[in-house]
Amino acid sequence: MNSIRVWTVFAIVAVSLFAQNPGIKRTIVKTQDVSGGHQAIIASVTIAPGASAGRHTHPGEEISYVIEGDGEVLIEGQPPLPIKAGDGFVIPAGAIYDAHNTGTVPIKLAAVYYIEKGKPLATPAK
């Protein structure tokens, strides 16, 4: 599968995962093949005040930097992780989690997903 087709699949999955959640916007900035049969996907993510991303997983790590806003990351089996502008966090591959905006301004994240090539960017979790 060529990189354009893979990018299209990832974009469709990302859009469909969050389509029913108008409080989150994920814009894919760059997708590139990297070592070890993986892809790096760089995205701008915005979560509206009071909104959450919805419980989901990634087939690889998410590495994010909080540009603006306050919230919490809820990783299943772990205590809530408060986040604020200037913080960074890493979501382990396969972890079920949600991100929730607890503040009064949108949370803005710079996110990098390091995922197995050919896998969907995200999968909803029950």
Using CA atoms, how far apart are residues 52 and 100, in angstroms rounded to an integer? 4
Using CA atoms, how far apart are residues 16 and 59, in angstroms rounded to an integer? 17
In 3D space, the residue among 87, 95, 90, 93 whose CA is nearest the CA of residue 71 turns out to be 87
- Residue 21 is predicted with a pLDDT of 75
Confidence bin at 2 (pLDDT 50/70/90): low
Greater confidence (15 vs 90) lies with 90
- Residue 10 is predicted with a pLDDT of 44
Pairing of strands 107-116, 38-47: antiparallel
Q: Which helix (H) or strand (E) holds 96?
A: none
- Residue 81 is predicted with a pLDDT of 98
Using CA atoms, how far apart are residues 107 and 66, in angstroms rounded to an integer? 7
Confidence bin at 5 (pLDDT 50/70/90): low
Which fold is adopted by the domain 3-124?
Jelly Rolls (2.60.120)
Using CA atoms, how far apart are residues 33 and 24, in angstroms rounded to an integer? 26
- Residue 126 is predicted with a pLDDT of 81
Q: What is the pLDDT of residues 56-103, one digit of tens each?
A: 999 999 999 999 999 999 999 999 999 999 999 999 999 999 999 999
Whether the model clears a pTM of 0.75, i.e. scores above it, the answer is yes
Q: What is the pLDDT of residues 97-125, one digit of tens each?
A: 999 999 999 999 999 999 999 999 999 99
In eight-state DSSP terms, residue 92 is: P
Confidence bin at 22 (pLDDT 50/70/90): confident
Domain range summary for the chain, segments of one domain joined by +: 3-124
